[in-house]
Structure 1
Amino acid sequence: MGIKIIGVGKIKEKYFTAAVGEYTKRMQRFGGLNIVEVKDEPAPDNMSETEITHVKDKEADKILSKIKEDDFVVTLEILGEEYSSEKLAAKIKELQTYGKSSIVFVIGGSNGLGDAVLNRSNLAVSFGRFTLPHQLMRVVLSEQIYRAFMINSGSTYHK
């Protein structure tokens, strides 16, 4: 099964890059984890709602260009459904069982996800009501994907 994380913006901190790299390396035994970064749009602090929508729409176009028609798309959204590690593992297992060959997780930019991406989403998942830096969210998501695969393999890593 192919697993991809699409994130808006580049990870700048070496410690975040190293952490994501570690989980990417660990995921090789399960078929790999592909990290795709799309360029974020300039977004000054004092933008109007119209400007914010424009930025999100431009980023959405970039994100959607990286998604295939048959990909199962999971968007990370504050108002999405909260999942435990076990529930995420069960969902991945279910998707594998029913023939999904690729899951794409999407982390939006600082202004969130554009409507086109939200409309393409097959599942909206929340990691809680906290707002986390996008770079840190990639680390957390990478670890949770790895944990899900370890749970599904019967490993004790989860405990």
Structure 2
Amino acid sequence: MKIKIISVGKLKEKYLKDGIAEYVKRLSRFGQVEQIELADEKTPDNASDKENEQILTKEGDRILAKLSSRDFVLTMAIEGKLISSEDLATTLDQAMQQSSTLVFVIGGSLGLDPRIKKRANLLISFGRITLPHQLMRLVLTEQIYRAFMIREGSPYHK
């Protein structure tokens, strides 16, 4: 099993890097984990709709370049299917029957290019709140680990 987490934007905060590293280490017993950080485009203050669209397109091109046609792609999107930790575990079971590579995608500050959402096998949401994409990486990584632990019947998920 291969798990890829593609994220637009660089992590700067040490506490986030440390937390993500801990969950990636824990996840390594379930398969190979690859974290891919893609450059984000600078968004000018008061950017026009056209400028925002161009930014999403550039970031979308970078994401698409990292996807294979065989990947099972789950995108984090505020309008996605609201799922629980248990739902994520079930989703991973189903996804692993279809592909040996699970790819999770977190967009930048403007969200995701519509092409990425269209390519996704599933758009998921952990709630209707907006989180900084750097913090979302930590939350997502922990939830992936939790989903694997749920699948094992581990007491980690109480």
* Identity value in percent: 54
Q: Check the 8 A contact 1:24/1:32 in 2, yes or no.
A: no
- Structure 1: gaps (5+ residues): none
Partner of 1:79: 79
Partner of 1:158: 157
Partner of 2:39: 39
Q: C-alpha distance in 2, partners of 1:118/1:78?
A: 11
CA offset at residue 55 of structure 1?
0.1
Q: Check the 8 A contact 1:20/1:138 in 2, yes or no.
A: yes
Structure 1 moving runs of 4+ over 4 Å: none
Partner of 2:55: 55
Q: C-alpha distance in 2, partners of 1:45/1:150?
A: 43
Q: C-alpha distance in 2, partners of 1:99/1:61?
A: 25
Count of matched residue pairs: 158
TM norm structure 2: 0.97
Which letter maps to 1:11? L
Partner of 1:131: 130
Over aligned residues, Cα RMSD in angstroms? Answer: 0.8
Partner of 2:11: 11
TM norm structure 1: 0.97
- SS at 2:28 equivalent: helix
Q: C-alpha distance in 2, partners of 1:40/1:49?
A: 17
- SS at 2:29 equivalent: helix
- Structure 2: gaps (5+ residues): none
Partner of 1:122: 121
CA offset at residue 124 of structure 1?
0.4
Partner of 1:69: 69
- SS at 1:30 equivalent: coil
Residue 133 (structure 2) pairs with residue 147 (structure 1) = no
- SS at 1:95 equivalent: helix
Which letter maps to 1:123? L
